[in-house]
Amino acid sequence: HTPNMRPVIRQLDDAAINRIAAGEVVERPASAVKELVENAIDAGARRISIDIADGGKTLIRVTDDGWGIPQDELPLALSRHATSKIDGSDLLNIHSFGFRGEALPSLGAVGRLTIQSRVSGAEGSELSVSGGRVEPVKPAAINTGTIVTLRDLFFATPARLKFLRTDRAEMQAISDVVKRLAMAEPSVGFTLRDVSGDGEGRVTFRADAVTGDLFDALRGRLGQVMGAEFVDNAIAVDAEREGFRLTGYAGLPTYSRGSAVAQHLFVNGRPVRDKLLIGALRGAYADFLSRDRHPAVALFVDCAPDKVDVNVHPAKSDVRFRDPGLVRGLIVSALRHALADAGHRASTTVAG
């Protein structure tokens, strides 16, 4: 090393910073869809439509009827670390899906993003950003709510583009994301459309809003998403221990699968793939299933936001419980009891 070869330390510009952040937040089209649909849910939407072309590579459009963004705040929505969801002083008290203020600037850095939005009682407006370059705000004629259109995802990061799978595989991943979010929000209506090519497009998933008490609504929604066969072969679970509540439906051992595809776990309404929870599930079913079989479940752990840290990873699919042993114990014992009960009832029915 010769001393005069040393590169100087420079500040990266915003576009570069956003592209780097996007690498963590937006792995593939499905992660963009997740961020946009979560934003719609956070905005109190009752109906959310998702239009996709070419596996999300050329077009992702999410339309919601939530409370919208006022024109003067639109530029902030696109600026990094700007969020309406937390005030920064209490990272342990998170009630929304979002809180990092990173999704929209990241998407605008790696694709062509247009946000059209209107709050009730005001005119609509729109703002576009393409590869990190922001355009001036313009008026837009739309209904109350928000339409986010993302075209040419990863055009600005060709390396990432190369790693995308087939349109079909990307669409499948998008569909999985939408279905998981739909499970957690039975009172919101979802429509997923494939609008590739010309024509009207094709509805690939639809779940109308369901109402009723917690278990009625959940049962209805799980039927729409996982199928009637699942709900007919699942038992309702409702248990509580020291501030943690476990609710949902657990599939009977006779309805098990050869893989873990039908394991849906949620913490405070957030779909997660958490090792602790998956391990607890395995423990709970150990006496009822052989090792190569996997239960179908949709289970929801709810607790005060300060008992769990969702701030572990930008994609927020991992969580950290303050008391993991307690959560594991709750899941194992609640499911074992429910399954033993169901088995007992089944055997007495046969005997009688």
* Residues in a beta bridge with 51: 61, 193
Least separation, in Å, of the C-beta of 20 and ligand ADP?
A: 15
**Residue 126, H or E segment:** strand 125-130
Report the distance separating Cα 35 and Cα 172, nearest Å.
17
Taking CB under 6 A as the rule, does residue 84 contact ligand ADP?
A: yes
167 binds, among ligand ADP, Mg ion, none (CB under 5 to 8 A by kind): none
Among 21, 28, 29, 39, interactor with Mg ion by CB under 5 A: 39
Which CB sits closer to ligand ADP, 84 or 317? 84
Minimum CB distance to Mg ion, residue 28 (Å): 17
Side chain identity, residue 7: P
Q: Which of 21, 77, 103, 338 binds Mg ion (CB under 5 A)?
A: 103
Residue 315 tokens, joined: 């994609």
Q: What is the DSSP letter of 12?
A: P
Q: Is 146 in the site for ligand ADP (CB under 6 A)?
A: yes
Interaction of residue 103 with ligand ADP, rule CB under 6 A: yes
Q: Are 56 and 175 in contact (CB under 8 A)?
A: no
Task: Report the residue number, 48 or 250, with the smaller CB distance to ligand ADP.
Answer: 48
Verify binding: residue 148, Mg ion, rule CB under 5 A.
no
Residue 150, CB-side half-sphere exposure with 13 Å CA sphere: 35
Choose between 74 and 103: whose C-beta lies nearer to Mg ion: 103
Sign of the Cα torsion 140, 142, 147, 152 reads negative
Q: Which does 317 bind (CB under 5 to 8 A by kind): Mg ion, ligand ADP, none?
A: none
Q: Reduce the DSSP state of residue 189 to 3 states and report it.
A: strand
The half-sphere exposure of 205 on its side-chain side, counting CA atoms within 13 A, is 27
Among 39, 116, 149, 263, contact with ligand ADP (rule: CB under 6 A)? 39
The residue among 71 and 263 lying less far from ligand ADP, judged by its C-beta, is: 71
| Interatomic CA distance for residues 79 and 100, integer angstroms | 11
What does the binding site for Mg ion look like in residue numbers (CB under 5 A)? 39, 98, 103
What does the binding site for ligand ADP look like in residue numbers (CB under 6 A)? 35, 39-40, 43, 64, 66, 68-69, 77, 83-85, 98-104, 146
